Amino acid sequence: MYKGIYEFANIKVEINSLYEYIHKMCAKYKISNNEDVKYVINITEDDIKRENEKSKGQEYIDFPLYYLETLAVYRKFLAFSIFENVFLFHSSSFMIDGKAYIITAPSGTGKSTHARFLSEVYKERFVCINDDKPLIRYENDEFMVYGTPWNGKHGLDNNVCYPLKAIFVLNRGEVDSVDKMIESVAFNFIFSQVHKPTGKDEMKLIINLLSKMAHSIHCYLLKATNRIEATEASRKIIDNKN
């Protein structure tokens, strides 16, 4: 059994695992202060077996056990994090000039590519928060975007947090454009890209949080080609030129 104490989205958690890999993966988020650790995650062989069952039917089903354990840890974390107003938003997230932005879309649409184009444009003003599974926390009447080590195939993340300014819903298009979504449409897109809790009470909490998000955070439909010039559309919002 391997043990470590970590902090994700200001939640201190003790992780007791069967494999060492999760602790190497979370190294940037490790803390030495074990006071006020509110949650403990214990991983069993049954937890890993369940993750293996969930992975069947995907393109790659022969995941190593140590990797399946990382999924089990995050799933257990998300089961209680919702009670702290913290949830997973499948997206590529980044900071520009002190504000966080999210690009969300189904896998393979080009979230990471557009974020990379923006990093080339903004250079040192751009900081990747998390390229796949950041955490969002509602605190002090605003939504904060936190980095996590569950960072996708490109392995991009930083242990940072910034206030969320805008959400881009990315679609592939032949013409680059950006248009503000109405609140109800924004909610549907946001809801489709967050981790869904299983309990009834937990579902009520996530719906309430996403309703606040759709109401208070501007959400834009971003149609973009697969070229760096497509950033001219998203930059209208980032640079307040729209």
Q: Provide Rg for the chain, Cα atoms.
A: 18
Nearest Cα residue to 22 out of 64, 83, 84: 64
The per-residue pLDDT for 117 is: 97
Could you tell me the residue ranges of all domains in the chain? Answer: 2-84, 86-238
Specify the pairing of strand 126-130 against strand 135-139.
unpaired
Domain 86-238 belongs to what topology?
Rossmann fold (3.40.50)
What's the pLDDT at 107?
79
Could you say which residues of the chain have pLDDT below 50?
A: 60, 242
What does the pLDDT look like over 10-60, one tens digit per residue?
999 999 999 999 999 999 999 998 888 999 999 999 999 999 988 776 554
Helix (H, G, I), strand (E, B) or coil at 17: strand
What pLDDT was estimated at residue 58?
57
Closest to 179 measured CA to CA, from 224, 146, 219, 130: 219
Nearest to 118 by CA among 224, 241, 219: 224
β-partners of residue 223 are: 171, 177
Q: What is the pLDDT of residue 125?
A: 97
Residues 40, 13 contacting (CB under 8 angstroms)? yes
Record the pTM: 0.94
